Amino acid sequence: MQTPPKDQPGKKPGIIRVEGMHKWYGDFHVLKDLNLTVDQGERIVICGPSGSGKSTFIRCINRLEEHQQGKIIVDGIELTDDVRHIDTVRREVGMVFQHFNLFPHLTVLENCCLSPIWVRKTPRKEAEASAMEYLERVKIPDQANKFPGQLSGGQQQRVAIARALCMKPKIMLFDEPTSALDPEMIKEVLDVMIELAGSGMTMLCVTHEMGFAKTVADRVIFMDGGEIVEQAPPHEFFTNPQEARTQKFLQQILAH
């Protein structure tokens, strides 16, 4: 267990703290001075136009991307070049990708057990039992011995969620988990995510599913041009956006 940092006695510390973070791709300034604190159990939805840096931002939180300036502190550990810190953080942060990224050469069950067995050193029996529990939670225990290539997109994404949960992470990151899915499959994935949100998981979710944002989010963050333009609770965000850019974005996406 992590002891709370001593610099903030009494106050519940942010499990994710991003302070003055910048990132460049070569000369291109993708993320500009981002500041964000996420408390344990908070559910955050990030939205914004294409190319605004949403993916880049949440990929920085488990260091799939490197930031060049500022601080990212996850669960009390600052992300630096230190590989051991990175691996520790990644164990506590699960991630779900737009294109599922399941391992096609392993069965669903093996996909789920891989990291618990090899990283957490959980005994195989135990890992499999726990994986089955999570597969049940995402409602596909009967597919456990199939290969990912034999499942539908919605099923694959639910496996991907179960795989991330098997590491018993403290934080879950979602990068547009439903945008590669056919409309009839979106709901089955969203249902799983709503259920997860209800269980008290800290969640950061890039999505354009505004219905989802309204139901579960504690806070909606709007990004544009690599900046956090506005953040507010969903009700406020949707009914009374402050910034012109937010208003324009909401008009566009709610128009259809």
Partner 1 sequence: MTESTMKAPKKALRPVKWMRENLFSGWFNTVLTLGVAYLLVTSVGPLLNWFFLDANFVGSDPSACTGVGACWLFISQRLNFFIYGFYPDELQWRVDVMFLLLAVSFVPQFIERFPGRKWLGLFGIFGLPIVGYFLIPGGSFGLEEVQSSKWGGLMLTLILAYIGIIASLPIGILLALGRRSEMPIIRGICVVFIEVWRAVPLITVLFMASVMLPLFLPEGVNFEKLARALIGITLWQSAYMAEVIRGGLQAIPRGQYEAADALGLGYWRKMGLVILPQALKMVIPGIVNTFISLFKDTTLVLIIGLFDILGTVQSTVTDPAWQNVAIEGYVFVAFCFWVFCFGISRYSQNLERKLDTGHKT
Ligand X SMILES: Nc1ncnc2c1ncn2[C@@H]1O[C@H](COP(=O)(O)OP(=O)(O)OP(=O)(O)O)[C@@H](O)[C@H]1O
Footprint on this chain of Mg ion (rule: CB under 5 A) = 55
Cα three-residue angle 170-172-178, rounded to 5 degrees = 160
Cα–Cα separations (whole angstroms), residue 180 to 73, 139, 185, 216: 30, 20, 10, 21
Q: Residue 32 touches which of ligand X, partner 1, Mg ion, none (CB < 5 to 8 A by kind)?
A: none
Strand order in the sheet with 14-25: 28-39, 14-25, 69-74, 77-78
Pick 59 or 90: Cβ nearer Mg ion: 59
> Cβ of residue 9: shortest distance to partner 1, in angstroms?
31
Say if residues 68 and 145 touch (Cβ distance below 8 Å). Answer: no
Which residues between 140 and 199 bind partner 1 (CB under 8 A)? 147-150, 163-164, 167
Cα–Cα separations (whole angstroms), residue 189 to 55, 81, 104, 169: 19, 34, 20, 19
Q: Report the chain's C-alpha Rg in angstroms.
A: 18
86-114: burial string, b at 16+ Cβ within 10 Å, e else = bebbbbbbbbbbbebebeeeebbbbbbbb
> Cβ of residue 200: shortest distance to Mg ion, in angstroms?
26
Pick 83 or 254: Cβ nearer partner 1: 83
56 binds ligand X (CB under 6 A): yes
Q: Measured in Å, how far apart are the chain's first and last C-alpha atoms? A: 47
Which residues between 105 and 134 bind partner 1 (CB under 8 A)? 105, 114-115, 118-119
Phi, psi of 34 (to 5 degrees): -85, 135
- Interface residue with ligand X, options 52, 122, 156, 178 (CB under 6 A): 52
97 binds partner 1 (CB under 8 A): yes
Pick 145 or 179: Cβ nearer Mg ion: 179
Q: Residue 17 touches which of ligand X, Mg ion, partner 1, none (CB < 5 to 8 A by kind)?
A: none
Interface residues with ligand X (CB under 6 A) are 25, 28, 30, 48, 50-56
Interface residues with partner 1 (CB under 8 A) are 62, 64, 83, 87-88, 90-91, 93-95, 97, 99, 101-105, 114-115, 118-119, 147-150, 163-164, 167
